[in-house]
Amino acid sequence: MPVAAPFKALALTLTAFLTLCSAGSLANDLSSEALLYRPTDTLSGWRQQLNALQHYSGLECPDTIAGLHRAGVTPDIADTGPGCRYEGDFGEEVVFRQHRATQLIDMQRRFLSNYEESGFIRVKGPSDSITFKTDSMGDLKTLESLWALQGEEKGFTLWISTIENHQTESIRILKAFEELSARIERRQDDDFMFEPNG
């Protein structure tokens, strides 16, 4: 029927327009872009999720947390376990690692011993941390702190390097990672654990 031709042309034009609009919105949406390029297999034990990386052991590292941005992953070394490195807008550096729960005391002892042997000065840190002053640049002093977060089946350590007058930021960051470690513990019982590809 000749009358159907204009409607067919209109439908094709509308479909093309909607396709272009949706393609443009996907390109400008970082979450959608992450989905478009998500690998189907794992790389060194890590798999991309929406807004996070997940290690086959169950460790989850969000792209952003407590105002920090994930800057990389740390090697999965047998006696330390996998981890992620974060950076903040004010020079904060953070490393979050997962360990066997029985390793936490050894990790704290090693941190304490290594820093004392390096000649760093131990200072009173926030919220039950092991804290050392490691650098002084004029009025700015760099403090490095370690917390051990004990879970039922896994243990976690949180290392934070920040300048002294930003120690209140450390407490806020600590709380965010305490919540994350508790969430990881809960999920590890329920979630499918994938196997690494080599």
| 3-state DSSP assignment of residue 85 | strand
Point out the residues of the chain with pLDDT beneath 50: 1, 3, 7-42, 192, 198
Contact 82, 60 (CB under 8 A): no
Q: What is the pLDDT of residues 129-171, one digit of tens each?
A: 999 999 877 677 899 999 999 888 889 999 999 987 777 889 9
Q: How far apart are CA 156 and CA 146, in angstroms?
A: 10
Specify the pLDDT at position 5: 54
Specify the pLDDT at position 191: 54
Q: List, in sequence order, every residue forming a beta bridge with 156; answer none if it has no partner.
A: 98, 149
Amino acid 126 reads: P
- pLDDT over 90 percentage in the chain: 40
Q: How far apart are CA 154 and CA 100, in angstroms?
A: 5
Q: What is the pTM of this model?
A: 0.72
Specify the pLDDT at position 122: 94
Specify the pLDDT at position 198: 45
Specify the pLDDT at position 34: 40
Specify the pLDDT at position 126: 81
**In the sheet where 130-137 sits, what is the strand order?**
64-65, 68-77, 81-87, 93-100, 154-163, 140-150, 130-137, 121-123
Determine whether 94 is exposed, middle or buried from the number of CB atoms within 10 Å of its CB (0-12, 13-18, 19+). Answer: buried
